[in-house]
Amino acid sequence: MVINFAAGPAKLPEEVLRDVQKNLLDCNGSGISVMEMSHRSSNYAKIQETAIADLRALLNIPSNYKVLLMQGGGTGQFAAVAFNLIGRSGSADYVITGSWSSKAAKEAAQYGKVNAVLPKVSKYVEVPRQSTWQTDPKASYIYYCDNETVEGVEFDFVPVPPTGVPLVCDMSSNFLSRPIDVTKFGVIFAGAQKNIGPAGTTVIIVRDDLIGQHLKTTPSILNFELMDKNSSLLNTPPTFGIYVMGLVFQWIKRNGGIEGMAERSRAKSQLIYNIIDQSNGFYYCPVERNVRSRMNVPFRIGSATGNDALEKEFLAKAEAEGMIQLKGHRSVGGIRASLYNAITLPETQQLAKLMLAFYENNKN
Protein backbone atom coordinates (compact mmCIF):
# COMPACT_ATOMS: atom_id res chain seq x y z
CA MET A 1 0.00 0.00 0.00
CA VAL A 2 1.26 3.47 -0.94
CA ILE A 3 0.44 6.53 1.15
CA ASN A 4 0.90 9.76 -0.78
CA PHE A 5 1.89 12.67 1.47
CA ALA A 6 2.49 15.00 -1.50
CA ALA A 7 1.85 18.73 -1.22
CA GLY A 8 0.15 18.74 -4.62
CA PRO A 9 -1.05 17.28 -6.86
CA ALA A 10 -2.16 15.45 -3.78
CA LYS A 11 -3.92 12.29 -2.67
CA LEU A 12 -7.59 11.90 -3.61
CA PRO A 13 -10.10 9.90 -1.54
CA GLU A 14 -10.01 6.23 -2.50
CA GLU A 15 -13.81 6.15 -2.66
CA VAL A 16 -13.75 8.89 -5.26
CA LEU A 17 -11.06 7.21 -7.36
CA ARG A 18 -13.01 3.95 -7.36
CA ASP A 19 -16.14 5.81 -8.43
CA VAL A 20 -14.21 7.45 -11.26
CA GLN A 21 -12.80 4.07 -12.28
CA LYS A 22 -16.23 2.43 -12.27
CA ASN A 23 -17.80 5.12 -14.44
CA LEU A 24 -14.84 6.05 -16.62
CA LEU A 25 -16.21 4.45 -19.80
CA ASP A 26 -19.86 5.26 -19.19
CA CYS A 27 -20.44 8.42 -17.16
CA ASN A 28 -23.88 8.68 -15.59
CA GLY A 29 -25.45 6.41 -18.20
CA SER A 30 -24.36 8.61 -21.12
CA GLY A 31 -22.54 5.78 -22.89
CA ILE A 32 -19.34 7.83 -23.09
CA SER A 33 -16.59 8.95 -20.75
CA VAL A 34 -16.82 12.36 -19.13
CA MET A 35 -13.54 13.08 -20.93
CA GLU A 36 -15.38 12.76 -24.26
CA MET A 37 -18.44 14.72 -23.23
CA SER A 38 -19.24 18.07 -24.83
CA HIS A 39 -19.08 20.88 -22.32
CA ARG A 40 -22.24 22.26 -23.99
CA SER A 41 -24.22 19.05 -23.47
CA SER A 42 -27.03 18.58 -20.96
CA ASN A 43 -25.14 15.62 -19.45
CA TYR A 44 -22.14 17.80 -18.62
CA ALA A 45 -24.35 20.69 -17.48
CA LYS A 46 -25.79 18.45 -14.76
CA ILE A 47 -22.28 17.55 -13.56
CA GLN A 48 -21.14 21.16 -13.29
CA GLU A 49 -24.37 22.49 -11.83
CA THR A 50 -24.46 19.74 -9.20
CA ALA A 51 -20.84 20.38 -8.20
CA ILE A 52 -21.51 24.09 -7.75
CA ALA A 53 -24.73 23.44 -5.81
CA ASP A 54 -22.93 21.00 -3.50
CA LEU A 55 -20.15 23.51 -2.88
CA ARG A 56 -22.70 26.22 -2.09
CA ALA A 57 -24.34 23.89 0.42
CA LEU A 58 -21.05 22.87 2.04
CA LEU A 59 -19.94 26.46 2.61
CA ASN A 60 -23.37 28.07 2.92
CA ILE A 61 -22.41 30.49 0.14
CA PRO A 62 -24.85 33.45 0.04
CA SER A 63 -26.80 34.23 -3.12
CA ASN A 64 -24.87 37.46 -3.74
CA TYR A 65 -21.69 35.45 -4.36
CA LYS A 66 -20.84 33.83 -7.68
CA VAL A 67 -19.00 30.53 -8.02
CA LEU A 68 -16.71 30.43 -11.05
CA LEU A 69 -14.71 27.45 -12.28
CA MET A 70 -11.59 28.55 -14.13
CA GLN A 71 -8.23 27.28 -15.30
CA GLY A 72 -4.67 28.39 -14.56
CA GLY A 73 -4.42 27.22 -10.96
CA GLY A 74 -3.59 29.52 -8.10
CA THR A 75 -0.86 31.21 -10.13
CA GLY A 76 -3.42 32.16 -12.77
CA GLN A 77 -5.49 33.80 -10.04
CA PHE A 78 -2.48 35.83 -8.90
CA ALA A 79 -2.97 37.71 -12.18
CA ALA A 80 -6.76 37.38 -12.36
CA VAL A 81 -7.32 38.96 -8.94
CA ALA A 82 -5.20 41.97 -9.89
CA PHE A 83 -6.76 42.29 -13.36
CA ASN A 84 -10.27 42.21 -11.92
CA LEU A 85 -9.83 44.30 -8.78
CA ILE A 86 -6.71 46.47 -8.67
CA GLY A 87 -8.24 49.06 -10.99
CA ARG A 88 -10.67 50.08 -8.23
CA SER A 89 -8.02 52.41 -6.79
CA GLY A 90 -4.81 51.46 -8.59
CA SER A 91 -3.18 49.87 -5.54
CA ALA A 92 -3.58 46.82 -3.30
CA ASP A 93 -2.33 45.61 0.09
CA TYR A 94 -0.54 42.25 0.30
CA VAL A 95 0.10 40.35 3.52
CA ILE A 96 3.22 38.34 2.69
CA THR A 97 3.67 35.40 5.04
CA GLY A 98 5.28 32.84 2.72
CA SER A 99 6.36 31.87 -0.77
CA TRP A 100 2.94 31.90 -2.41
CA SER A 101 1.76 35.27 -1.13
CA SER A 102 5.17 36.65 -2.13
CA LYS A 103 4.70 35.36 -5.68
CA ALA A 104 1.18 36.74 -5.79
CA ALA A 105 2.43 40.19 -4.81
CA LYS A 106 5.11 40.14 -7.50
CA GLU A 107 2.52 39.21 -10.11
CA ALA A 108 0.10 41.94 -9.03
CA ALA A 109 2.85 44.56 -9.13
CA GLN A 110 2.81 44.30 -12.91
CA TYR A 111 -0.73 45.71 -13.02
CA GLY A 112 -0.80 48.29 -10.23
CA LYS A 113 0.88 49.47 -7.05
CA VAL A 114 1.44 46.81 -4.39
CA ASN A 115 1.85 47.71 -0.73
CA ALA A 116 3.48 45.03 1.44
CA VAL A 117 1.81 45.56 4.80
CA LEU A 118 4.52 43.58 6.64
CA PRO A 119 8.29 44.11 6.67
CA LYS A 120 10.31 41.74 4.48
CA VAL A 121 11.77 38.81 6.43
CA SER A 122 14.35 36.13 5.65
CA LYS A 123 12.22 33.27 7.00
CA TYR A 124 8.47 32.82 7.22
CA VAL A 125 7.62 31.25 10.57
CA GLU A 126 4.81 33.41 11.94
CA VAL A 127 1.80 35.59 11.15
CA PRO A 128 2.23 39.00 12.80
CA ARG A 129 -0.92 40.21 14.54
CA GLN A 130 -3.06 42.55 12.48
CA SER A 131 -2.43 45.46 14.85
CA THR A 132 1.11 45.62 13.43
CA TRP A 133 0.05 45.79 9.76
CA GLN A 134 0.46 48.97 7.72
CA THR A 135 -2.74 48.91 5.67
CA ASP A 136 -4.09 51.48 3.24
CA PRO A 137 -7.77 52.43 3.71
CA LYS A 138 -7.89 53.29 -0.01
CA ALA A 139 -6.51 49.97 -1.25
CA SER A 140 -8.45 48.14 -3.96
CA TYR A 141 -8.29 45.02 -1.80
CA ILE A 142 -6.20 43.32 0.88
CA TYR A 143 -4.77 39.93 -0.07
CA TYR A 144 -3.44 37.02 1.96
CA CYS A 145 -2.74 33.29 1.63
CA ASP A 146 -4.53 31.34 4.35
CA ASN A 147 -2.09 28.42 4.30
CA GLU A 148 1.45 28.55 2.97
CA THR A 149 2.33 25.05 1.78
CA VAL A 150 6.10 25.57 1.55
CA GLU A 151 6.73 26.96 5.02
CA GLY A 152 3.76 25.37 6.82
CA VAL A 153 2.25 28.62 8.09
CA GLU A 154 -1.55 28.81 8.46
CA PHE A 155 -3.54 31.82 9.65
CA ASP A 156 -5.25 31.40 12.99
CA PHE A 157 -7.59 34.34 12.34
CA VAL A 158 -9.47 36.03 9.52
CA PRO A 159 -8.14 39.54 8.90
CA VAL A 160 -10.57 42.46 9.21
CA PRO A 161 -9.95 44.89 6.34
CA PRO A 162 -10.55 48.65 6.50
CA THR A 163 -14.15 49.65 5.77
CA GLY A 164 -14.93 49.28 2.08
CA VAL A 165 -11.79 47.27 1.29
CA PRO A 166 -12.60 43.72 0.14
CA LEU A 167 -10.65 40.80 1.56
CA VAL A 168 -9.11 38.42 -1.00
CA CYS A 169 -7.86 35.02 0.11
CA ASP A 170 -5.91 32.22 -1.52
CA MET A 171 -7.27 29.08 0.15
CA SER A 172 -5.79 26.62 -2.33
CA SER A 173 -4.22 24.32 0.24
CA ASN A 174 -6.76 24.35 3.07
CA PHE A 175 -10.03 24.83 1.18
CA LEU A 176 -12.91 22.83 2.72
CA SER A 177 -10.76 21.76 5.67
CA ARG A 178 -12.48 23.99 8.24
CA PRO A 179 -15.62 26.16 8.42
CA ILE A 180 -15.40 29.70 7.05
CA ASP A 181 -17.77 32.64 6.95
CA VAL A 182 -17.86 33.49 3.25
CA THR A 183 -19.43 36.89 3.95
CA LYS A 184 -16.13 38.11 5.43
CA PHE A 185 -14.48 37.85 2.00
CA GLY A 186 -14.70 39.63 -1.32
CA VAL A 187 -12.92 36.85 -3.20
CA ILE A 188 -11.85 33.34 -2.24
CA PHE A 189 -9.97 31.15 -4.68
CA ALA A 190 -8.57 27.63 -4.51
CA GLY A 191 -6.61 25.53 -6.95
CA ALA A 192 -8.17 22.08 -6.81
CA GLN A 193 -4.98 20.02 -6.84
CA LYS A 194 -4.20 20.45 -3.16
CA ASN A 195 -7.35 19.42 -1.37
CA ILE A 196 -10.38 18.96 -3.64
CA GLY A 197 -9.50 17.39 -6.99
CA PRO A 198 -7.07 16.92 -9.87
CA ALA A 199 -4.84 19.71 -11.13
CA GLY A 200 -6.37 21.99 -13.74
CA THR A 201 -9.42 23.52 -12.06
CA THR A 202 -9.62 26.59 -9.84
CA VAL A 203 -12.66 27.52 -7.77
CA ILE A 204 -13.39 31.24 -7.40
CA ILE A 205 -16.03 32.58 -5.01
CA VAL A 206 -16.55 36.28 -5.70
CA ARG A 207 -19.03 38.79 -4.31
CA ASP A 208 -21.16 40.04 -7.16
CA ASP A 209 -20.53 43.77 -6.58
CA LEU A 210 -16.83 43.16 -7.34
CA ILE A 211 -17.57 41.79 -10.80
CA GLY A 212 -17.24 44.17 -13.74
CA GLN A 213 -14.45 46.37 -12.35
CA HIS A 214 -11.64 44.75 -14.36
CA LEU A 215 -8.85 46.52 -16.21
CA LYS A 216 -9.49 47.02 -19.93
CA THR A 217 -6.43 44.88 -20.64
CA THR A 218 -7.85 41.86 -18.77
CA PRO A 219 -7.59 38.71 -20.92
CA SER A 220 -10.98 37.14 -21.57
CA ILE A 221 -9.96 33.88 -19.92
CA LEU A 222 -9.19 35.73 -16.66
CA ASN A 223 -12.20 38.05 -16.76
CA PHE A 224 -14.62 37.36 -13.90
CA GLU A 225 -17.47 39.19 -15.63
CA LEU A 226 -17.17 37.20 -18.85
CA MET A 227 -16.81 33.94 -16.96
CA ASP A 228 -19.91 34.74 -14.91
CA LYS A 229 -21.98 35.71 -17.94
CA ASN A 230 -20.98 32.46 -19.63
CA SER A 231 -21.52 30.20 -16.59
CA SER A 232 -17.79 29.35 -16.56
CA LEU A 233 -18.14 28.06 -20.14
CA LEU A 234 -16.47 30.94 -21.99
CA ASN A 235 -13.87 28.41 -23.13
CA THR A 236 -13.75 24.63 -22.80
CA PRO A 237 -13.51 23.95 -19.04
CA PRO A 238 -11.44 21.13 -17.51
CA THR A 239 -14.46 18.83 -17.61
CA PHE A 240 -12.81 15.76 -16.12
CA GLY A 241 -11.35 17.76 -13.23
CA ILE A 242 -14.70 19.37 -12.47
CA TYR A 243 -16.38 15.96 -12.56
CA VAL A 244 -13.90 14.53 -10.03
CA MET A 245 -14.10 17.65 -7.88
CA GLY A 246 -17.88 17.25 -7.73
CA LEU A 247 -17.39 13.69 -6.49
CA VAL A 248 -15.05 14.99 -3.79
CA PHE A 249 -17.71 17.47 -2.64
CA GLN A 250 -20.17 14.58 -2.31
CA TRP A 251 -17.57 12.55 -0.41
CA ILE A 252 -17.11 15.43 2.03
CA LYS A 253 -20.87 15.62 2.55
CA ARG A 254 -20.95 11.89 3.34
CA ASN A 255 -18.10 12.22 5.82
CA GLY A 256 -19.38 14.87 8.18
CA GLY A 257 -19.18 17.92 5.95
CA ILE A 258 -16.77 20.74 6.68
CA GLU A 259 -16.98 20.11 10.43
CA GLY A 260 -15.99 16.48 9.85
CA MET A 261 -13.01 17.54 7.76
CA ALA A 262 -11.96 20.03 10.44
CA GLU A 263 -12.05 17.38 13.17
CA ARG A 264 -9.97 14.99 11.03
CA SER A 265 -7.47 17.77 10.35
CA ARG A 266 -7.07 18.58 14.02
CA ALA A 267 -6.55 14.95 14.97
CA LYS A 268 -4.03 14.21 12.22
CA SER A 269 -1.91 17.32 12.58
CA GLN A 270 -1.89 17.21 16.39
CA LEU A 271 -0.66 13.63 16.30
CA ILE A 272 2.42 14.62 14.29
CA TYR A 273 3.09 17.89 16.12
CA ASN A 274 2.91 16.09 19.48
CA ILE A 275 5.67 13.73 18.39
CA ILE A 276 7.78 16.67 17.23
CA ASP A 277 7.27 18.58 20.49
CA GLN A 278 7.99 15.57 22.69
CA SER A 279 11.17 14.53 20.89
CA ASN A 280 13.54 16.72 22.95
CA GLY A 281 14.63 18.59 19.84
CA PHE A 282 15.29 15.51 17.69
CA TYR A 283 12.45 16.68 15.44
CA TYR A 284 12.24 20.42 14.95
CA CYS A 285 9.42 22.52 13.46
CA PRO A 286 10.39 26.18 12.97
CA VAL A 287 6.84 27.57 12.79
CA GLU A 288 5.31 29.44 15.72
CA ARG A 289 2.86 27.10 17.44
CA ASN A 290 -0.26 29.23 17.04
CA VAL A 291 0.09 29.32 13.24
CA ARG A 292 1.32 25.81 12.53
CA SER A 293 -0.41 24.46 9.45
CA ARG A 294 -2.85 21.60 9.83
CA MET A 295 -2.31 20.77 6.15
CA ASN A 296 1.48 20.89 5.68
CA VAL A 297 3.76 19.88 8.54
CA PRO A 298 7.41 20.80 7.87
CA PHE A 299 10.16 19.54 10.16
CA ARG A 300 13.89 18.91 10.35
CA ILE A 301 15.63 15.94 11.93
CA GLY A 302 18.61 16.11 14.27
CA SER A 303 18.78 19.89 14.65
CA ALA A 304 17.11 23.15 13.65
CA THR A 305 19.10 23.13 10.41
CA GLY A 306 18.72 19.41 9.84
CA ASN A 307 21.06 16.46 9.60
CA ASP A 308 21.30 15.46 5.93
CA ALA A 309 22.27 11.87 6.62
CA LEU A 310 19.44 11.31 9.11
CA GLU A 311 16.87 12.97 6.86
CA LYS A 312 17.89 10.87 3.87
CA GLU A 313 17.71 7.74 6.01
CA PHE A 314 14.25 8.72 7.28
CA LEU A 315 12.95 9.35 3.75
CA ALA A 316 14.37 6.01 2.58
CA LYS A 317 12.70 4.15 5.45
CA ALA A 318 9.42 5.93 4.78
CA GLU A 319 9.49 5.01 1.12
CA ALA A 320 10.34 1.40 1.98
CA GLU A 321 7.15 1.36 4.05
CA GLY A 322 5.09 2.87 1.22
CA MET A 323 5.04 6.47 2.42
CA ILE A 324 6.06 8.71 -0.46
CA GLN A 325 6.65 12.39 -1.31
CA LEU A 326 7.68 13.40 2.20
CA LYS A 327 10.71 15.40 1.11
CA GLY A 328 10.48 19.08 2.00
CA HIS A 329 10.21 21.80 -0.60
CA ARG A 330 13.54 22.44 -2.31
CA SER A 331 13.65 26.02 -0.96
CA VAL A 332 13.52 24.95 2.71
CA GLY A 333 14.65 21.31 2.71
CA GLY A 334 13.90 18.81 5.44
CA ILE A 335 10.69 16.79 5.64
CA ARG A 336 7.12 17.87 4.88
CA ALA A 337 4.03 15.79 5.56
CA SER A 338 0.94 17.08 3.77
CA LEU A 339 -2.20 15.99 5.62
CA TYR A 340 -4.97 17.04 3.27
CA ASN A 341 -8.57 15.87 3.66
CA ALA A 342 -7.99 12.63 1.75
CA ILE A 343 -5.24 11.46 4.11
CA THR A 344 -6.84 9.24 6.73
CA LEU A 345 -6.07 9.06 10.45
CA PRO A 346 -4.73 5.47 10.14
CA GLU A 347 -2.37 6.63 7.38
CA THR A 348 -1.19 9.47 9.59
CA GLN A 349 -0.73 6.99 12.45
CA GLN A 350 1.57 4.96 10.21
CA LEU A 351 3.77 8.01 9.72
CA ALA A 352 3.67 8.68 13.47
CA LYS A 353 4.76 5.10 14.15
CA LEU A 354 7.76 5.52 11.87
CA MET A 355 8.69 8.83 13.48
CA LEU A 356 8.61 7.32 16.96
CA ALA A 357 10.67 4.29 15.93
CA PHE A 358 13.19 6.45 14.10
CA TYR A 359 13.54 8.68 17.15
CA GLU A 360 14.14 5.72 19.47
CA ASN A 361 16.81 4.31 17.16
CA ASN A 362 18.68 7.58 16.59
CA LYS A 363 18.11 9.84 19.60
CA ASN A 364 21.60 9.27 20.99
Q: Is the pLDDT assigned to residue 364 strictly greater than 90?
A: no
- pLDDT number for residue 320: 97
Domains 15-255 and 257-361 share a fold: no
Residues 6+ apart with CB under 8 A from 346: none
For residue 278, report the phi and psi dihedrals to the nearest 5 degrees: -100, 15
What percent helix, strand, coil does the chain show, rounded to 5? Answer: 40, 15, 45
Q: Which residue has the higher pLDDT, 322 or 303?
A: 322
Active-site residue set: 100, 170, 194
Q: Is the pLDDT assigned to residue 363 strictly greater than 90?
A: no
- For residue range 141-191, list pLDDT tens digits in order: 999 999 999 999 999 999 999 999 999 999 999 999 999 999 999 999 999
15-255 to CATH, choices 3.40.640.10, 3.30.70.250, 3.40.710.10, 3.40.30.10 = 3.40.640.10
- pLDDT number for residue 306: 85
- For residue range 12-66, list pLDDT tens digits in order: 999 999 999 999 999 999 999 999 999 999 999 999 999 999 999 999 999 999 9
Q: Where are the domains of the chain?
A: 15-255, 257-361
The DSSP code for 90 is S
- For residue range 316-350, list pLDDT tens digits in order: 999 999 999 999 988 888 999 999 999 999 999 99
257-361 to CATH, choices 3.40.190.10, 1.10.3720.10, 3.90.1150.10, 3.40.50.620 = 3.90.1150.10
Residues 6+ apart with CB under 8 A from 190: 74, 170, 171, 172, 175, 196, 202, 203
- Measure CA 110 to chain center: 24
- pLDDT number for residue 1: 85
- pLDDT number for residue 116: 97
- For residue range 220-268, list pLDDT tens digits in order: 999 999 999 999 999 999 999 999 999 999 999 999 999 999 999 999 9
Give dist(CA 301, CA 353) in Å, integer.
16
